[in-house]
Amino acid sequence: MKTLFPIIQMILAAAPQAMMRGAVLSVLVLLMGAALLGLSGWFITATGLAGIAGLGIAFDVFRPSAGVRFLALGRTAARYGEHVFTHDATLRALAFLRVRLLRRQVWLDSRALSRLRSEAVLTRIIADVDALDGVVLRLLLPAVAALATHLIVFLAIGWLAGWAIACALLAGYIPLAILIFWQLARRSIKPSDRAEKESQSLRRGVIDMIRNRQSLILDARLDDREADLLSLDGNIRKAAQQLDRAERGAALAITMLVTLVTACALGLGGWLVAQGVMGPAVGVIGIFVALALAETLMPLRRGIADYGKMAGAAKRIGYGEKEKPEKSKPKSPLCHENAGASPPVLAVRKAPLTFIIEPGEAVALTGASGSGKTSLLMEIAGLAESSGIAILGRAPADWPDSSLRDLVTMVPQRSVLLAGTIRENFNLAADVPESALWQALAAISLDAVIRERGGLDAPLGEAGAGLSGGQAQRLALARAIIRQPQLLLLDEPTEGLDEATADRVLSGIRRALPQTAILATLHRNANHPMFDRQIPLLL
């Protein structure tokens, strides 16, 4: 239960006044329901007795009937107000939670982001937040309202019909209801959590299958993938069946409990009437109130059954966890011969590969496909575990992420452009004057194309739709240029470019960044004059 406390606190704090009004109205609805049934039972019994006794004309039917109408209409109005206040407060809280969780993902450092699949993370966050919408509405609020109603009814029945009947109602409902719900939670927590996890896996699997359907068809694996998804769906159905059995069992137990408590109220009330302690009309109040109190228990059944799903979602979200302070890391030894000299921008000592790159140098890293060129760039950029690598004398893992990003910029083979204007895509990298943006575009021979499209405010579609693959790659290179890094890592920067364009792009990068150390992986154009030397990477 403690995993849900931060979520409950957040939801209650989102709109405390609205939630408090909703809680009061929830108790009022239950109390009016109990009072309505109790008053109706008393009224029916009293009028029947008055008719039998021949006192029907003298019996006052107006005030009790007015009370019945008031309670019926008031209960309807209170129920409407409860829904308005509690649902509005809960939706506000969940909207805040979604923004908070997405913002947390945005502020993760690049090392953590590299381990995340954006689709999987977004799908998980949406599903987990949706699972938490019942924490207050179906769990906390019904439980608090039920307990408060039973206590108030205990006092009212003790005053109206005697403390014997009041104690029978309280002692019959509270302990046994807690036992029933404890058993329901114990039986449902695992299948509820398992059903939620499998549902998220199925959702991600369907998204992946739709996105990769062409590859699956060409590889003749579409049927296999469909079978895997059907297996996941089967697991979800099995968990749902277990959950349904547990919930129906709890419903049966609650029904039996209501019957038992009502029978106790009937027997005790009849005995007290026979003893002359109270009249028949008062004696039946406990019976009808016992029936009305069943309304306090039924709403809890759904919330308790979903407890496993809610608790699992709260654990995965980790809302309210304190961030651990980053421990200071020792500096790595300098990876160059003369410890007294300034360290090189990049030093790599990974047997059998050993080289250094000084400011202003450009090195072409060559090798067959699969030899590990991209993996080496990822290690240098601090996006993978590394050893034998130093940037300005320190291992990438020893640099604070923000400082490392200022020093090192990497342009992967498949760069990401966002839907928006070209200027907005540049703003992701740095906030520089417009003239610097045009200089970067001119360096990679893209300025004329951008002007034809309408300039820096020309819109791009999702993933840079509207530009060709080569143009999108060059725009990513221009975005790297405006950062003016000390070390620039390029993964196949000329892939998809013709020879003339590749020559202009490489020359433009060198002119735009004369003091930057550049390491580029290449399958071709490694002999370009831009590069001071080549380093082969063998398998």
pLDDT tens-digit map of 454-499: 888 888 776 667 677 778 888 888 888 888 889 999 888 888 778 8
Q: Write down the domain spans for the chain.
A: 2-317, 346-536
Q: Which two tokens stand for residue 278?
A: 């109270």
Q: What is the mean pLDDT of residues 198-204?
A: 82
Residue 260 has pLDDT above 90, yes or no: yes
pLDDT digits (tens, 9 = 90+) for 150-185: 999 999 988 888 888 889 899 989 999 999 989 988
pLDDT digits (tens, 9 = 90+) for 22-55: 888 889 988 998 888 888 888 888 787 777 666 5
Residue 257 has pLDDT above 90, yes or no: yes
Residue 323 has pLDDT above 50, yes or no: no
Q: What is the mean pLDDT of residues 492-519?
A: 87
HSE value, Cβ hemisphere, 13 Å, CA-based, for 494: 23
pLDDT at 21: 84
Q: Which two tokens stand for residue 359?
A: 């400011």
Residue 324 has pLDDT above 70, yes or no: no
Q: Which helix (H) or strand (E) holds 170?
A: helix 163-211
Tell me the whole-structure pTM to 2 decimals: 0.60
Q: Calculate the dihedral angle through the C-alpha atoms of 77, 78, 83, 86, rounding to the nearest 10 degrees.
A: 150
Q: Which two tokens stand for residue 235?
A: 């697991």
pLDDT at 464: 63
- Helix then strand then coil, in percent of the chain rounded to 5, is 65, 10, 25
Model confidence band, residue 111 (pLDDT cutoffs 50, 70, 90):
low
| Cα–Cα dist 169/294, whole Å | 11
Per-chain mean pLDDT for the chain: 81
Share of the chain above pLDDT 70, in %: 88
pLDDT at 61: 75
Q: Which two tokens stand for residue 212?
A: 């990769």
Model confidence band, residue 113 (pLDDT cutoffs 50, 70, 90):
low
pLDDT at 175: 92
Q: What is the mean pLDDT of residues 232-260?
A: 90
pLDDT at 427: 80
pLDDT at 335: 42
What are the start-end ranges of the H helices in 275-394?
Answer: 280-283, 285-292, 298-305, 307-317, 373-380
Q: Which of the residue ranges 13-17, 99-103, 272-276, 419-423 would you say has the lowest mean pLDDT?
A: 99-103
Model confidence band, residue 254 (pLDDT cutoffs 50, 70, 90):
very high
CATH architecture of 346-536: 3-Layer(aba) Sandwich (3.40)
Sign of CA dihedral 414, 420, 422, 423: negative
pLDDT at 440: 87
pLDDT at 278: 83
- The CA-atom distances, in angstroms, between 236 and each of 179, 186, 277 are 28, 19, 57
Q: Superfamily assignment of 2-317 in CATH?
A: ABC transporter type 1, transmembrane domain (1.20.1560.10)
Cβ(447)–Cβ(455) under 8 Å? no
Sign of CA dihedral 257, 261, 262, 264: positive
Cβ(147)–Cβ(177) under 8 Å? no
Q: What is the mean pLDDT of residues 115-142?
A: 73
Residue 380 has pLDDT above 70, yes or no: yes
Q: What is the mean pLDDT of residues 277-291?
A: 86
What is the maximum span of the chain, computed from C-alpha positions, in angstroms?
118
More confident: 128 or 115? 128
- The CA-atom distances, in angstroms, between 204 and each of 113, 207, 234, 340, 442 are 18, 5, 16, 54, 42
**CA nearest neighbour of 284 among 42, 9, 537, 483:** 42
pLDDT digits (tens, 9 = 90+) for 400-413: 878 888 889 888 87
Indicate the DSSP class of residue 372. S
